[in-house]
Amino acid sequence: MVIRIIKHVFIPFICCFTIISSLAMDKAPSTVAVILLGCSYYLSIVFDNKFPSLQKFQFVFLALFHWSSHLNWCLILYYILIGFSIQKRERYTHIIRIALMYILLYTVIRLSYVPFTNYNLFVSIYDIISSVVFVLLLQYVHKSELEKKRLRKENNFLITHDPLTGLLNYEGYVTAVQDLIHKKCNFVLILLDFQDFKSVNNESICTGNEILTQISLLLGKLFYNSHAMSRYAGDRFAIILPSKENLISNLSELLDPNTLGLQVTYSFAQFPQEAVTKEALISIAEDRLFQSKRDVWLKREDHLFRSEKMKMVGELAAGMAHEIRNPLTTIKGFMQISTNHDYNIHPWFDIIMSEIRRMNELTAEFLQFSKPHLSNMKQELLTDCIDRVLSLAESDALYRGHKIIFEDTKESLYVFIDRDKIVQVLLNLIQNAFEAMKQPGDIHVRIKQEEHAAIIEVEDSGDGISESDLEKIFIPFYTTKEAGTGLGLSICQKIALDHGGSLEVKSTIGLGSIFSFKLPTV
């Protein structure tokens, strides 16, 4: 802007002022020559961008104009030429050579029309020194401006671009959308979310950054004709493509996981078919992306649930086969022995029947564990349910010499439950407490209230459970009892989960255990 003002305002003004002054003071040897040379110099300055070859003749026109005007006022025009040279070149030595050449030319022409006196000689020396100082100062200012311009450009780049990939950031891409809407260009906004990237990035930040860089390069090749491309929110990319036929239908092929190396969820929004403002357009694309990600997440969760379910079925089947095989092996052994005693099984009858009862109990518990639904759900007062449990467990407690201490809350708590199932869980927990206490002692059954939940605690004073056993007690068929099936606590936990609650345990060796049965309140 400054250069343009100098070229189109100051130079013509100085030329006209010099011509008029030279003619008014009768300095010019030729009126026609000074006017023509002044105009020639001005035109060579104005059209040097269009005709670069004119730059070689600018100092010639200036020198002739200077000689024809016989005025020292042309010195400022020499300085302007030096300034133009500084703008185009950056080396000090080269600029100083050009400046000395111009000033020497100015000095020679000046001395040709003024008397050769000591004064004029010293003035010429002063002009040379001042030109060197002028060049150094102008060069310093020029370099400072270039540095400011570079820093400003880098700052603007960082404001609107992602430093890792060099693509636009969120602010840059929103600005690009706004500019295209302002230009009324038809385009499609595509948002990409790379689903597996977070797990890769958690393994190594360097690996994650490398993958992001590779993705940005690959997207640049796939969508080379894009108006703009952006990376924002970590692993999301936005691509603005010009509208064309079949673009949307071809997206799934372009974004194939085999090509990109990662699973990607995408969405799109079209301008102006679906929205005419940047806010509405981005909102449509973001909403569609969220819905797509939700669908993918639900499919993954369903697949994971099915996988876990099949894994559990396999573990249960293996455990069931193992538990049934043991009594069958015992029965088989006694039956083989009976072949040597005329098939008389009387000596082993009680053992065989005991093993058969064991298999029957195991099968019954397994069937109960595998029942998918609760059958009789209704609203119950939790205290009534526990009273029922305590009445059922009282006789066994007296027989073993234990005492059950019930600690109720002041408020009535209602829960939506299958009463028989809850009674079964609590009886199982109390029965386990009886068996954990080798000496007569107290068993505390207490009700606690939390926000929107009731907690039933069963605390014993037995030997406690080791940390290794705590991790396994809810696993089907795991037991530390000689006669246990290992399904009791598994069934209790399943009933708790079916009621939207939970079953947890805390234990200290030598002090006892606390089982916490949590149920949502009504």
pLDDT, residue 213, reads 85
What's the whole-number mean pLDDT along residues 320-335?
71
For the stretch 443-481, pLDDT in tens is: 999 998 888 889 999 999 888 888 888 877 877 766 766
User: Residue 445 — φ and ψ, nearest 5°?
Assistant: -115, 115
Fold of the 301-372 domain: Helix Hairpins (1.10.287)
The highest-level CATH class for domain 170-274 is: alpha beta
Sheet containing 187-194: give its strands across.
228-232, 236-242, 187-194, 264-271
pLDDT at 373 over 60: no
pLDDT at 86 over 80: no
Q: Which residue has the tokens 């109720």?
A: 408
CATH architecture of 373-520: 2-Layer Sandwich (3.30)
Residue ranges matching CATH 3.30.565.10 in the chain: 373-520
182-191, 259-268, 403-412 — which one is most confidently predicted on average? 182-191
Between CA 263 and CA 259 the distance in angstroms is 10
Distance CA 520, CA 450 (A): 9
Percentage of residues in the chain with pLDDT exceeding 70?
A: 87
Q: In the chain, which residues fall in CATH 1.10.287?
A: 301-372
Rounded CA-CA distance 366/125 in Å is 113
Question: Does the pLDDT of residue 369 top 70, yes or no?
Answer: no
* Better-scored residue on pLDDT, 335 or 184: 184
287 pLDDT above the threshold of 90: yes
For residue 497, what pLDDT is reported? 86
pLDDT tens for each residue of 487-508: 778 878 888 888 889 999 998 8
Nearest in space to 514 (alpha carbons), one of 415, 419, 448, 439: 448
Is pLDDT of 189 > 90?
yes
Give one word for 194, left, alpha or beta, with left for phi > 0 and alpha for psi -120 to 50: beta
Rounded to an integer, the average pLDDT of 78-83 is 82
pLDDT of residue 188: 92
